[in-house]
Amino acid sequence: MTSINSDWKNVLDSLGCESLLNGPSKRLSAILEKAESGEVLDRDEALYLVSIEKDEIPYLLQTASKLRDSGKGSILTYSKNVFVPVTQICRNHCGYCTFKYEPGEGPLFMSPEEVVDLAKKGAELGCTELLFVTGDKPELKYPVYKEALQKLGYDTTADYLIALGEAGLKENIFPHTNLGLATSEELLAFRESNPSMGLMLENISPRLLQKGEAHYRCPDKVPKQRMKTMELAGEHRIPWTSGILVGIGETWEERIDSLLALRDLGDNYGHLQEIIIQNFSPKPGIMMEKYPPPSFVEMLKLVAISRLVFGEDMNLQIPPNLNPETYPLFIHAGINDLGGVSPVTIDYVNPEAPWPKLEIMQDMVQDLGFILRERLPVYPEFIDNEFIDENVLERVENFVDKDGYVPLGEV
């Protein structure tokens, strides 16, 4: 193993490590060398990385950084988006959620005119991503919602989102829809306007569906059903963003198993474009408001393990607005993407967490020796006729340079 150099001083300070005189253990060295050579880590090896001592974590981070550099070079990416909460009515009862409200507590859904106005405003400000986020299948639980939707001419939230995506695309901004569970027919319809889509796995463990756990009374959070939607997306060649939610009562074993389930998904279908490692953020009024969020050290270790699990080619992200003081340090853990930021809208899922300023992000990235590039919701390596509908592909190609990024300009 190469020794840690002075560029890592901030990492050592953040971990409380004064020096690294002893080096990694023999077992850790073997695992890190295996990962660095491009070999696939198994479950036991990933779990061993969980157990390493604090003073060994920098060696894990160094290997994660080397893998990222090998696969992604010096480029870090972000997207400029408009966050569109089409409906905050939801049939689930997630213990960590502040996004959901009940009928009567706010609008049932955004009108087509409101969505188009947001799309126009975003496009005018240079945004390229129209990020649709919704509650899960409220029409199956709330008659008042279903009746209002039918008055617009739609039977399901999916039908409405498909129409909104088509309308948004006409405004020269690309829809990226996080619908929830979806059928094969729905996914094919979304593909006609969405160059990419997303669904967080959150966690592969059905234990979290039990009473008292984060996903109790959440029919749309059954892991097998979420995996099935993502498998269908793979069959239909839809570039897909997924990831895990950290700190919702899961064990380290369940975290690792979730990463491995997503790795298998990507290996089997080849459509997984991005993995998000999202930390739970407690808020007043939620069932889990007294749950402790995952610590910085936990997140740093998990992000680095994720890089080793997925290898050099996967795009790996943590949300900077949920880690405002520490997100630069996660670059040392192997991330290559800094998520979506918006000059138009807040993060409605985490309204207390403002987006980072692009100018500050750019300076920080440059100071660390990287280049910040803007991407579309679909990553450059998926911009081809295998993964994008031919009518959407023509629009996508008109928005990017020869490397698949938004052409350089003022941030």
Considering only CA atoms, which of 75, 15, 55, 4 is closest in space to residue 372?
75
Instruction: Name the percent of the chain lying above pLDDT 90.
Output: 78
Q: What is the pLDDT of residue 348?
A: 56
Residue 411: pLDDT band (50, 70, 90) is very low
Torsion angle in degrees (nearest 10) through CA of 171, 175, 179, 184: 100
For the chain, list the domains and their CATH numbers. 75-399 (3.20.20.70)
Q: What is the pLDDT of residue 4?
A: 43
pLDDT digits (tens, 9 = 90+) for 63-93: 999 999 999 999 999 999 999 999 999 999 9
Please indicate whether residue 344 or residue 326 has the higher confidence score (pLDDT): 326
Residue 21: pLDDT band (50, 70, 90) is low
Q: Is the pLDDT of residue 14 over 70?
A: yes
pLDDT digits (tens, 9 = 90+) for 269-304: 999 999 999 999 888 888 898 888 999 999 999 999
User: Quick one: average pLDDT of 26-50?
Assistant: 97
The predicted model scores a pTM of 0.94
User: Quick one: average pLDDT of 323-345?
Assistant: 87
Q: Is the pLDDT of residue 112 over 70?
A: yes
Q: Is the pLDDT of residue 398 over 50?
A: yes
User: Quick one: average pLDDT of 136-144?
Assistant: 97
Residue 2: pLDDT band (50, 70, 90) is very low
Please indicate whether residue 46 or residue 99 has the higher confidence score (pLDDT): 46
Residues 238 and 29 sit within 8 Å (Cβ to Cβ): no
Q: Is the pLDDT of residue 214 over 50?
A: yes
Residues 6+ apart with CB under 8 A from 184: 232, 235, 236
User: Quick one: average pLDDT of 370-376?
Assistant: 96
Q: What is the pLDDT of residue 346?
A: 60
What is each CA distance from 100 to 52, 86, 387, in whole angstroms? 38, 12, 32
Residues 94 and 222 sit within 8 Å (Cβ to Cβ): no
Query: In the numeric block, which tokens belong to residue 360?
Result: 């500050």
User: Quick one: average pLDDT of 142-161?
Assistant: 98
User: Quick one: average pLDDT of 332-345?
Assistant: 88
pLDDT digits (tens, 9 = 90+) for 243-277: 999 999 999 999 999 999 999 999 999 999 999 99
Please indicate whether residue 359 or residue 132 has the higher confidence score (pLDDT): 132
Considering only CA atoms, which of 312, 316, 351, 313 is closest in space to residue 330?
316
Q: Is the pLDDT of residue 189 over 60?
A: yes
Q: Is the pLDDT of residue 350 over 80?
A: no
